[in-house]
A and B are shown apart, each in its own frame.
Chain A
Amino acid sequence: MNIVVCVKQVPDTSDPDTEVHIDGTGRGVDQSKFSFVINDADNYAVEEAILLKEKHGGEVTVVNIGPEAANQVIRMALAKGGDAAIRLDDEKFAFSDVLATARLLQSAVKDGGFDLIMAGCLASDDGYGAVGVTLAQLLGLPHAAMVKTVEVIDDKKLKVGRELEGGLLEMNEIEMPCVLTIQTGGNEPRYASFKGIREASKKEIKVMDLGATGLAEDQVGEAGSCAIMAQYSVPEVGELAEILEGDPGTTSARLAEILKEKGLV
């Protein structure tokens, strides 16, 4: 079974102390104080791909869109058991939306004869959660999103469990080749040892620029996008906790209201 796994390098902004500052253009953020990691859901996709390879054989190809610094996450995936890697890198790819991003990935995987293409279900930086499903349609392949469990039925079919709200699993049978977007929590991503990463840095990472993708300039980046992020702004809510004042009757009533407004109770 030959598998593609798409990985994105993202700033680790989950930490409340990590501030995100909009840059002068209004369309980017100051990245100088970020630390960069593999996108969480992609990490689970890598693990799922390697578990499938260990059980059923085949090869795992890691695909990334990013600058040279993204080699770090690629090498971690290779150290864990990935066999080959492709990195799409061209300044013309900047500002690509979901559609243009999916097109780039399509160009990298379309001729590979892969049985299964996996990506994390959601990126923690822009949070669209749509690239995998978009890619499937571009490739003309069946898809299933938010997949938490993958089981091989035979060499043509998989049984996958899609995780819905409240943890409910929706079990589906899907024909290969297909595209799955992988949810977090379905496995336990292994550790890539430092030695392993050093070893993996000997493996070649194939770099594709615009020319290598075979795409036209107006199919990528801003020109190739259908819905671009035009302007960042600072949300109105303050950074500090809003302290609810009053006696326990008042504060608890206000809290209950807030929980209801946010659809949490």
Chain B
Amino acid sequence: MINQNTEKEIKILAIESSCDETAAAVVVNGRDVRSNVISSQIDLHTLYGGVVPEIASRKHIEKINQVIEEALSKAEMTLDDIDAIAVTYGPGLVGALLVGVAEAKAISFARNIPLIGVHHIEGHISANYIENKDLEPPFLCLVVSGGHTHLVRVADYGKYEILGRTRDDAAGEAFDKVARAIGLGYPGGPKIEKISHEGNPDAIAFPRAKVGDGVYDFSFSGLKSAVLNYLNGCKMKDIEINQADVAASFQKSVTDVLVEHAMHAIDEYQMDKFAIAGGVASNATLRKAMEEACAKKGVKFYHPSPILCTDNAAMIGAAGYYDYLAGKRAGLDLNAVPNLKLGE
């Protein structure tokens, strides 16, 4: 007799609104993305040099239905086909998260569709499942974005151990701040990466920040200060600043620290698979450095395409699928939790 449980396709409608991207996706069985719609607000926030929470929240409410409808129609499905709704409920900007959460709950209630609350970082990690059908836990994952820098051991689906995290600025945040300081503007990541191609990464010796007690913890505010000091020094001595050299040297410093910590953890935990995730994971220099370091150790390296590195809902659908299989369900009282911890 055919087991219907294993035969049935699980179709998940996923919603993500934790920061400045309004996104919805339809994902089948966690890895088959049928649609992935992202409405970015980045141009709006550029004017302010960073994401303005109230503006982000206002934009989410204006876009959310359109984005969901588009995700369903691109997947050639209606709500009748959907088995569960997965929504990001933290961490992130509370006002922004609340839009997605309230919307998801209302749809879940009106159509009696099970609801799953997904952790945003869990989503980023799970983005790797989408294009790498062979990837299964256990593996090590480095999540680097504008808001997060986490080194995570993925013990099993939905089981995470945080080995290290940033003590101050997230890696992406450091990119934004340095980009602003050298006059490149917002968002910093892509702009620094682009100009770095023309610069010498060994031109300036910026520090590789160490954190005393936490072996795998990161600190990027010291590096940011070193860059600012260097810029001030140049100004005082009337030395012309080479933007490309500063950008390339800064980028190398960040990359070196991330690679070193990751490789150290791979050795200690004897992992044979390593993945990166989050917005900064689309940085080609970082990807290349990780790939080479992994190759030396014979460790298999995974990374999502840039479109799945940035905030998106397909990754929430991927994570939500494994939560669904584990029987996790959220109630109609699901709230947004801006500082939600991984593994809670």
A and B together in one complex: no
Interface residues of A (CB under 8 A from B): none
| Residues in chain B within 8 A of chain A (CB atoms) | none
